[in-house]
Amino acid sequence: MPSTQQGSFTLERIYPATCARVFRAFADAEAKTKWFAGGDRWALLERRFDFRVGGSERLKGRWPDGTISTFDATYWDIVPETRIVYCYAMHLGDRKISVSLATLEFEGAGQGTKLTLTEHGAFLDGYDDAGSRERGTGELLDSLGKSLAN
């Protein structure tokens, strides 16, 4: 039977880089590829990136157990070096597990940038997130920090 479970979280990070550089890590395909993926155990199957209002992004890969995960996003609002708003769906295999609205806000913090990410998710048809989305997003933001250090 169809069901929906709601979830929201906010994560903050301060990076020792300018707002322009942190924003670029989201806006530039090459820069984003350095940190936004499934990690070493994940095999890339497909990547598309069109960063503009109305543009879309797709990231699809296979995990060691054979599970295929797909991230499909649409960008709804972009204010350079200030804000990005996008909606995305996540699939495991052919099953849509969630649809989310994410907002990224960039602001100067001393010599660096404070990034605030807020996400509101609808988890679908019995999918039990159990906090894994928030943990996984935190890991991606940590990977972003490592990519900015290089």
Residue 30: band (very low, low, confident or very high) from pLDDT cuts 50, 70, 90: very high
pTM of structure: 0.94
What's the whole-number mean pLDDT along residues 60-85?
97
Contact status, residue 42 vs residue 137, Cβ threshold 8 Å: no
Q: Say what the pLDDT of residue 88 is.
A: 98
Domain architecture of the chain: domains with CATH = 4-149 (3.30.530.20)
Joined together, the tokens standing for residue 10 give 């906010």
- Number of Cβ within 10 Å of residue 28's Cβ equals 13
Please give the pLDDT value at position 52. Answer: 98
